[in-house]
């Protein structure tokens, strides 16, 4: 076996307190760096680099941004020396778990949908950084609670196909009283396309015929979102309740293109 280059040492030769795995186990995950976490996923290095050095090299190509790293696909990861198929898949799986955890935490915290921001926050972790377009549905009951979320379709860089028949069939089978449509724009722009507006109108009209309430259609960008309901393009939901989506103000009272905002 060839020797490592001078100055490049194997992690197992380090003191226990400096090894990423042992450091995490003894001090906790919050005490180790992003590069060390990534090194744990990579697990082993090459003849010339330790797992930590490979991790540092990967992060340096994305300006040490985990958000930018999450936009890299398996093909790009495999281009890094020292990263094989198994390591690439492990990295992608960990990043996806992080997205799902964030989405689940918000959904549990705020199960009821009172405003467009609530719906945005449920799917933002899953959609805001994707390099392709996806179309999702949030199923809502009469208490304005999201009881199911579903990916309807997955497309390319600029579009995804939505079949109204499949969409409404799923809603009817679920027993939902209302539906929130959500899709992302990989470009980061939240400006609706003509196709977005046309599809929204078609689904709202189709929902009326089937007595299914299309509550909103939200477009997710990188750090902001657009709500067709807030912009006044979807009729307000009628209810005796006086909060949230049930009794939205005039379109002028809301931002149609919203930056992230707190509670």
Q: Give the model confidence (pLDDT) of 179-195 as tens digits.
A: 999 999 999 999 999 99
At residue 241, does pLDDT exceed 90? no
Helix 85-109 × helix 116-127 angle, to 10°: 170
Mean pLDDT of 205-223: 93
135 vs 144, higher pLDDT: 135
Q: Give the model confidence (pLDDT) of 76-88 as tens digits.
A: 999 999 999 999 9
**Average pLDDT of every residue of the chain:** 82
At residue 247, does pLDDT exceed 70? no
Among 151-165, 191-205, 212-226, where is mean pLDDT lowest?
151-165
Q: Same domain, yes or no, for 169 and 91?
A: no
Q: Same domain, yes or no, for 127 and 61?
A: no
Q: How confident is the model at residue 203 (pLDDT cuts 50, 70, 90)?
A: very high
Q: What is the DSSP pairing of strand 178-184 with strand 134-140?
A: antiparallel
Q: Where does a domain end: 98, 123, 154?
A: 98
Q: Same domain, yes or no, for 76 and 175?
A: no
The domain total for the chain is 2
Q: Same domain, yes or no, for 175 and 253?
A: yes
Mean pLDDT of 252-261: 44
5 belongs to a structural domain: no
3 belongs to a structural domain: no
What are the tokens at 187? 């470009």
Mean pLDDT of 26-31: 82
Q: Where does a domain end: 68, 98, 128?
A: 98
pLDDT at 42: 92
pLDDT at 153: 93
Q: How far apart are CA 132 and CA 32, in angstroms?
A: 32
Q: Same domain, yes or no, for 86 and 166?
A: no
129 belongs to a structural domain: yes
Q: What is the DSSP pairing of strand 146-154 with strand 134-140?
A: antiparallel
Coil, strand or helix: which one is 32? Answer: coil
At residue 196, does pLDDT exceed 90? yes
38 belongs to a structural domain: yes
- What percentage of the chain's residues is helix, strand, coil (to nearest 5)? 45, 15, 40
Q: How confident is the model at residue 251 (pLDDT cuts 50, 70, 90)?
A: very low
Mean pLDDT is highest, among 6-15, 28-37, 167-176, for 167-176
Domain that holds residue 87: 11-98
66 belongs to a structural domain: yes
Q: Same domain, yes or no, for 137 and 191?
A: yes
Q: Same domain, yes or no, for 121 and 231?
A: yes
79 belongs to a structural domain: yes
Q: Same domain, yes or no, for 201 and 243?
A: yes
Q: How confident is the model at residue 3 (pLDDT cuts 50, 70, 90)?
A: very low
Q: Same domain, yes or no, for 85 and 186?
A: no
Mean pLDDT of 167-171: 94
What are the tokens at 82? 């020292």
Q: Same domain, yes or no, for 178 and 252?
A: yes
Domain harbouring 187, CATH code: 3.40.140.10
Q: Same domain, yes or no, for 61 and 149?
A: no
104 belongs to a structural domain: no
Q: Where does a domain end: 65, 98, 131?
A: 98
Q: How confident is the model at residue 56 (pLDDT cuts 50, 70, 90)?
A: very high
4 belongs to a structural domain: no
Q: Same domain, yes or no, for 191 and 65?
A: no
């Amino acid at each position: 076996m060839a020797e490592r280059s001078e100055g490049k040492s194997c992690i197992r030769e380090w003191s226990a307190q400096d090894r990423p795995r042992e450091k995490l186990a003894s001090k906790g995950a919050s005490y180790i760096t992003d590069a060390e976490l990534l090194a744990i996923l990579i697990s082993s290095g090459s003849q010339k680099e330790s797992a930590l050095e490979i991790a540092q090299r990967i992060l340096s190509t994305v300006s040490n941004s985990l958000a930018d790293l999450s936009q890299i696909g398996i093909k790009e990861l495999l281009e890094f020396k020292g990263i094989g198929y198994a390591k690439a898949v492990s990295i992608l799986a960990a990043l996806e778990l992080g997205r799902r955890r964030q989405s689940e935490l918000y959904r549990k915290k705020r199960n009821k949908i009172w405003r467009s921001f609530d719906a945005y926050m449920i799917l933002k972790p899953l959609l805001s950084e994707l390099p392709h377009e996806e179309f999702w549905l949030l199923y809502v009951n009469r208490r304005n609670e999201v009881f199911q979320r579903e990916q309807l379709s997955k497309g390319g860089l600029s579009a995804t196909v939505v079949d109204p028949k499949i969409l409404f069939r799923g809603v009817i089978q679920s027993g939902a009283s209302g539906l929130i449509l959500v899709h992302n724009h990989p470009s980061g722009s939240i400006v609706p396309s003509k196709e977005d507006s046309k599809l929204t109108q078609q689904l709202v009209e189709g929902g009326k015929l089937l007595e299914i309430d299309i509550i909103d259609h939200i477009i997710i960008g990188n750090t902001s979102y657009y709500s067709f309901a807030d912009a006044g393009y979807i009729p307000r939901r009628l209810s005796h309740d006086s909060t949230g989506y049930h009794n939205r103000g005039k379109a002028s009272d809301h931002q149609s293109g919203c930056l992230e905002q707190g509670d």
